Structure 1
Amino acid sequence: MSSNESAAVPAGRHDVLIIGGGAAGIALAASLHKRRESLDIAIIEPAEIHDYQPGWTLVGGGVFTPEQTRRAMRDVMPDFVTWYRHRCDQVAPDAHRVVLDDGRVLGYRSLVVAPGLVIDWSAIDGLEATLGEHGVTSNYRRDLAPYTWSLVQSLSSGRALFTQPPMPIKCAGAPQKAMYLACDAWRRRAVLGGIDVSFHNAGGVLFGVADYVPALERYVEHYGIDLHYQENLVAVDGPNRVARFRVTRESGEEIVERRFDMLHVVPPQRAPDLVRRSVLADAAGWLDLDEATLQHRRYPDVFGLGDASGTGNAKTAAAVRKQAPVVAENLLARLDGRALEAGYLGYGACPLTVERGRVVLAEFGYGGKLQPTLPHWLVEGTQATRIGWMVKAHLLPRLYWNVMLKGHEWLAAPATLEKVAGRVAEER
C-alpha cells in the first residue's frame, strides 16, 4: 500500500473486518455476534455463490447433486454484518486499513484474514485447456464434479489415473475419496476387473496420519489399485490422453508418460496473493499465525483461520468449526485489553469415503494426535463404518448450513492455553 493510500480517510471503519465470506468468515462472524451483539462486523466477499465444498466429492460419486452443495451468498450472509461485495486487494496492518478493488479504504480495530486458498490449475501444463473433456476431470471444481460421475458411469475398461499434488492441499483425503467411490461404482457394475486403476501421489505415504493407513490399504488391495509414490503430475495432453509425471527416484528425477482413459486431477494449491505477497505471510507464503491462539505473530490486532493459515492442521471445514470459537474468544479479549486464553489443538477431520455406505472417520490434531468426537463404543474412527457414512453424507451438511454458519458451537468449545501447553509438553 502506498503512503497516499495509508493516509487516506477510510470510507468505512468497523470493530471487526473479515476478509472472506466462506465457511471461516461467516462462522466467525456468527460466533462473534452471539458473544457480543453490539460489535460492528463487516465481511469482504465478492462471490455471489456460497459452496459446501466437502460435498463435491459426493457429487463426483453420484450421491449428491451440484444444487445440494451451493446456496446464494445473500442467503447465508448474516444480516447483522456489513457486506462489501468486492475483492480485498491490499492490507496495511501497520495503519489498520485495507484497500478494496474499487479503491476504497476501510479501517478496523481488529482484522480477520480468511480468504481461503487458490487451486493453481495453471501449474500443470496443458490442464486448463482440457478440463471437462478428453476424460480429464477434478472434484475440486463444482462444475467438473458431475463430469467425474459421468466418466465413472461410462467407463467399462481402460486406465483410470488419480493424482495428488505436494502438500498442503484442501482436504488431503479428497484425492483418494474420488478414487474409492469410482472403484466402488465399477465394482457394483462388475467392470472393475477390466479397469486398471492407479494412484499417483507426489508424497511418500498414503495418508499423513498412520493410524488410518491400515484401513485404507485394505481398500486399496480390495479394489486392486496400483500405488505410485513420489510421482507429481506436471503436464496433461488431453487430446492424446497422456499424463506426464515428474518421478523422483534414488537415482534422480525423470519424466514418465502414462496413458489414460480417465484422469482425475488435484492441482497444487497455495495461499492467495493477498496473503503471500503481503507482510502477513510466513516464509512459505501462508498466513503467519500462532498455532494455538490463531493470532498473527507480528500484528496482534490481526487474526486468521481457514485454508490460508500457515498452521499445521488439516485444511478442512471441520478445522474451521473448531477454529472459529478460538478466534472469537481471543479477538474479543484483544479488543478488551485482556490476556488471550482460548487455545486451538489443531483439530481437523477428513471423512475418508472408501465406498458408498462406509467411511473412515479420520479426526486428528497437531502432530497427528487422534481427536475423536464420538465415543469409541459408538464408532471406531480408524475403521470403515456405516456410522461414519451417516455422519459424512447426512449429518455434516446439516451441521454446516444450520449449525456452524449460524454460530452454534456444538462440540466445538475452545481449549484453554494451559491445556494446549500441557498437550505440547506431553508430546515432547
Structure 2
Amino acid sequence: MILSRTRTPLAISAAAAKRCLATVAAAGPSKQYKLVVIGGGSAGIAVAAKVARDPLFQGKKDILVIDPSAKHYYQPLWTFVGAGLKTLAESEKPMADLIPQQADWLQQPVTKVDPANNIVLNANGTEIKYDYLVVAPGIRLDFDKIPGLNETLGQNGVASNYSVNSVEKTAEFLAAFKGGNAVFTQPATPIKCAGAPQKIAYLAEEIFRNNGIREKTNVTFHSGMGKIFAIDKYANELTKVAASRGVKVNLLSNLAEVRGDKREAVFKSLAPEGGETVVKYDFLHVTPPMSAPPFIRESGIANADGWVDVDKETTQHNKFSNIFALGDASALPTSKTAAAAAAQSGVTADNLLRAIKADSATASSTYNGYTSCPLITGKGKLILAEFSGYTGQPMETFPFNQAHESAFSYYLTSDVIPSLYWQGQVKGLWNGPTAIRKFTNPFSS
C-alpha cells in the first residue's frame, strides 16, 4: 500500500536493482500500457500477478506496477512485532522480488490521474498512458493531523505499530516500562485493520503481568468510535476480555493532541456534551487518523468522502468503466484488511480481464464484503473475526465459535496465514477462504 508506510533504504540484489533501473528508463514520457496498477501493496500486487498469468499477457511487457517503495510489508504482522513476538524482518520482502515477470515497475509516487485522457502522472514528470487502470495505493497515515505527534513519535514513550519507523519502539518501550499509565488510542476515522489498536493493548497488559508490574499499571483504551468493534458478536466478547483484564475502555474519546515534553495526551469527547480531557501517560500507543491519498480526490475519481468511487460488487468505477479500485483506498464499504484485499483481488482481476477481452458472455464476479480481523488478546489467544462488512453478519471458516479465544486461531494467524500471504496472495493465487468454507464449515450460515 504505497502511501501507508514510510520509505526506507534497502540493499537489493544487483539483478533486482538492474531490473528496477531498466524499468524506470523504459517507462518514459507517453509510454503506453494495456494495464497500469497503482500500488504494489497486498491489493495491487495480487491483481497484477493474477492478470499477468492470463494468456493475453504472456510474452509481453504490457503491465506496469507503480509503487515508490523498495520494500513490501506484510503489515498484519506488526502487532506481533510491537509486542516483541516477531521481528520486523519477518514482515518484509524486496518489492523487486514480487513484481510479476510480465510487468514493468515504476518506482515513483503518483501525483495525479487524468481519467478523461487515460494518463497517470508521476512525481518525476513521467506521463503513463493506459487502456485500463487499477487504483490500489493504500491508505494515508495522517500523523501530522494530531498536533505534537510527529515531533515525539518514537521518543518520550510514544510509539505506533502503524509506522515502520516506530513499531520496534513499541516493543522497546513496553519491555522497559516500569509502571504508570499505559494509554492506547483509536481514531474516529476509517483505518486499516480496525482491531489492531486494541490488540496491542491486550498484549501490553500481558507483558506487564509477566513482568510483575501489573498492579502498579493502569491500562486504558481510548477510541473515537462508538463501539469497541463494529460487529456485535465479536464486540460482546471483546468487552468481556477488556473487563477481565482490567483494561478501561473509553468510547467516543478521540486523541486531539500529544504534549511529549509533559507526557500528556489530550482527548476530545465526541459525545453530545463534548469537552476535553488531559491524560498523563508513561506509555502511549497511537493509531493515527487515516484518509485516502489526496491524488484520488484531485483526479476526480473519488466519492464525496475522498475514496475511489467504485461499484461495491464489481469494484469497477461508477463513472470510468476502464478503472477499477480495491483495497484501503477504495470506497468499498467494508473493513480495510489484507483479508478483504485478498477477496477483492480475485473479483477485480476476473472483471478486469472480462472487460479487456470484451467478454459479455461471462457473468461478472461479485464481492460480498468479506473481511477478517484476527483479534489477538494474548500470546496463544485470539478471536478470529470473519464477517461481511456489507451485511454485518459473521462468515466464519471453521466449525467452532470464532468469537471465543482460541490457540488454534492464534497459531493460524501467527504462522500459517503469513506463509499463505507470501506464497499465495501476493502471487494472485489466494482469494480468501470462500472456496474452502463449504468444506471446512458446511453448516455455516
Give the structure-2-normalised TM-score: 0.88
Matching residue of 1:68:
90
Counterpart CA distance in 1 for 2:88 and 2:425 is 21
Counterpart CA distance in 1 for 2:323 and 2:55 is 19
Counterpart CA distance in 2 for 1:131 and 1:191 is 24
CA contact (8 A) 2:57 2:102 kept: no
Residue 167 of structure 1 and its aligned partner are, at CA, apart by: 3.0
Residue 189 of structure 1 and its aligned partner are, at CA, apart by: 2.3
Residue 142 of structure 1 and its aligned partner are, at CA, apart by: 1.9
Matching residue of 1:404:
425
Matching residue of 2:262:
240
Residue 411 of structure 1 and its aligned partner are, at CA, apart by: 4.7
Superposition pairs of residues 169-248 of structure 1, within 5 angstroms: 169-248=191-270
Aligned partner letter, 2:206: D
1:36 equivalent in alignment to 2:55? yes
1:359 equivalent in alignment to 2:378? no
Aligned partner letter, 2:115: P
Matching residue of 1:265:
286
Residue 37 of structure 1 and its aligned partner are, at CA, apart by: 5.1
Counterpart CA distance in 2 for 1:100 and 1:149 is 36
Counterpart CA distance in 2 for 1:112 and 1:271 is 15
Matching residue of 1:291:
312
Matching residue of 2:125:
103
CA-to-aligned-CA distance 1:160-217 (integer Å, 9 cap, x gap): 1100001310100000011011011112223212111111111111100001022212
Residue 295 of structure 1 and its aligned partner are, at CA, apart by: 0.3
Aligned partner letter, 1:371: M
- Same amino acid, percent of matched pairs: 36
Superposition pairs of residues 5-404 of structure 1, within 5 angstroms: 11-36=30-55, 38=57, 40-250=62-272, 252-339=273-360, 341-365=364-388, 366-373=390-397, 375-376=398-399, 379-404=400-425
CA contact (8 A) 1:58 1:64 kept: yes
Counterpart CA distance in 1 for 2:93 and 2:357 is 36
- Total equivalences in the alignment: 404
CA-atom RMSD in angstroms: 1.8
Aligned partner letter, 1:229: L
CA contact (8 A) 2:342 2:432 kept: no
Counterpart CA distance in 2 for 1:223 and 1:401 is 34
CA contact (8 A) 1:403 1:409 kept: yes
SS in 2 for 1:106: strand
Displaced runs of 4 or more, over 4 A: 410-414
Aligned partner letter, 1:346: G
Aligned partner letter, 1:367: T
Counterpart CA distance in 2 for 1:409 and 1:128 is 37
Residue 243 of structure 1 and its aligned partner are, at CA, apart by: 0.4
Matching residue of 1:417:
none
CA contact (8 A) 2:265 2:281 kept: yes
SS in 1 for 2:274: strand
Residue 156 of structure 1 and its aligned partner are, at CA, apart by: 2.9
Tell me which moved more, 388-397 or 402-411: 402-411
Counterpart CA distance in 1 for 2:91 and 2:326 is 22
Counterpart CA distance in 1 for 2:234 and 2:433 is 23
CA contact (8 A) 2:189 2:291 kept: no
Residue 145 of structure 1 and its aligned partner are, at CA, apart by: 1.4
Residue 89 of structure 1 and its aligned partner are, at CA, apart by: 1.4
CA contact (8 A) 1:156 1:192 kept: no
